Amino acid sequence: MKQETKQCISDSIRTFRLPRYQEIPTVGLYLEQTTKYICEYLAPLQENAITNSMISNYVKKRLVSNPVKKQYSRDQIAYLFFIAIGKNVLSLDALSDFFQLQQRTYTVEKAYNYFCDEFESLLQFSFEMKDSVDTLSGDDSDEKRLLHTCIAAVVQKIYLEKCLQAIVREWEDE
């Protein structure tokens, strides 16, 4: 792959950042607003990261609790961000297991913010913007190792897909 293509791929990731828990709106968002909010953040990584029907399905499958007065709360949106990213490598049953594990060990805020930090760190490392992965916590619990493994799998899938797309574009430009 050409160096300029690598640079272009890295540039698309360089400014990527997930909203931290406290940055997610405190006012409830309706279904379409929730979908748009999540998709706008995830657009640099994947198109149509989540749809209205997917969210409704996650509610039916009890991955996310029912919205209150048709509005999704900060906790629900945090869960939906994880689902939108994690569904690329995990089944719905595995996502449910992750949520049960999280609920037994960490608050939604702590778990979600850790997820965001870890995800961004692994993205930057995989796309060669950092020489090493940031060490985010001295707590080397099984839960955090499982989350790290899930995130690493997602990041590798994103990296693979972006590189393949770039190489195909190079061929088409020849």
* Concatenated DSSP letters of 46-106: -TT---HHHHHHHHHTTSSPPPBTTEE-HHHHHHHHHHHHHTTTS-HHHHHHHHHHHHHHS
| Predicted TM-score of the model (pTM) | 0.91
Q: Give the residue numbers spanning the domain of 157.
A: 3-173
Count: domains in the chain: 1
CA angle 147–151–156, rounded 5-degree value: 150
In tens digits, the chain (174 residues) has pLDDT values of: 677 777 777 877 888 999 999 999 999 999 999 999 999 999 999 888 999 999 999 999 999 999 999 999 999 999 999 999 999 999 999 999 999 999 998 999 999 999 999 999 999 999 878 777 776 556 678 888 899 999 999 999 999 998 888 888 888 877
